[in-house]
Chains A and B, each alone.
Chain A
Amino acid sequence: QITLKESGPTLVKPTQTLTLTCTFSGFSLATNGVGVGWIRQPPGKALECLALIYSNGDKRYSPSLKSRLSVSKDTSKNQVVLTMTNMDPVDTATYYCAHQYDWADFFDYWGQGTLVTVSS
């Protein structure tokens, strides 16, 4: 059974760097064709895909946020880490990590999400 769980701070100050960890089970990022995505959702708004990381180490970022994002994986720990620099109140959102369906970039399993508030 595939599960994912996001962890990290619930409150960050403007200009700070956010670091979120996705800890998963039921699959391995050492397996070909596997990927994990980070998706966020501001309160009452739509979904936005931030980043993807694949088993082969390839990474994809939202073009509008690319300069602020970094994603990495620790295969031995079954974790994926997302960092976002220079946080702003508009970055207040629920951040989800999700399992990418085999060899296709849609998401069949999602974590419960973590609400991150950016405020001084």
Chain B
Amino acid sequence: DIVMTQSPDSLAVSLGERATINCKSSQTILYNSNNKNYLAWYQQKPGQPPNLLIYWASTRASGVPDRFSGSGSGTDFTLTISTLQADDMAVYYCQQYYTTPLTFGGGTKVEIQ
């Protein structure tokens, strides 16, 4: 199985500041034949299902604000929230879909400082 490791477990950021979440895979999730990284990011608020934010490591899903961005390649990835809003308080998960079993990171809780 590909293990997805997120860091930090939690972070507190002031409104308007930048939040950075890291995700590392135990093996590459870059598929050489199409040069795509098989990584997605989700946001989950309390009592709600996860909401897709980013796929192919850096493509924003429909309706996702442009303050959310994804970067990275191979085994190391980052989700950045450029200017944190109160509505961004949530837990964020990365997921690899390079191969089954599909695996998620342990989550990063973002709080307002």
A residues contacting B by CB (< 8 A) are 37, 46-49, 52, 60-63, 96, 98, 101, 104-108, 110-113
Contacts and interface: CB of A to CB of B under 8 A. Distances in A.
Given A105-B102, A111-B49, A113-B49, A46 B93 contact: yes
Given A46-B105, A46-B106, A63-B1, A108 B100 contact: no
Interface residues of B, number: 22
Interface in B88-102: 93, 95, 97, 100-102
Given A49-B102, A49-B103, A110 B40 contact: no
Most buried by A among B38, B40, B93, B105: B40
A61 B49 CA distance: 21
Contacts of A46: 93, 104-107
Given A48-B104, A49-B104, A96-B49, A108 B61 contact: yes
B52 A62 contact: no
Contacts of B74: none
Contacts of A104: 38, 55, 97
Contacts of B107: 46-47
B81 to A, nearest CB: 20
Nearest to A113: B49
A110 to B, nearest CB: 4
A106 B52 contact: yes
24 contacts: A37-B102, A46-B107, A47-B50, A49-B104, A52-B102, A63-B1, A63-B101, A96-B50, A101-B55, A104-B38, A104-B55, A105-B38, A105-B97, A105-B100, A106-B40, A106-B52, A106-B55, A106-B97, A107-B40, A108-B61, A110-B49, A110-B51, A111-B49, A113-B49
A46 B55 CA distance: 19
A107 B93 CA distance: 12
Given A106-B40, A106-B52, A108-B52, A52 B100 contact: yes
A27 B81 CA distance: 32
Contacts of A63: 1, 101
Contacts of A98: 49
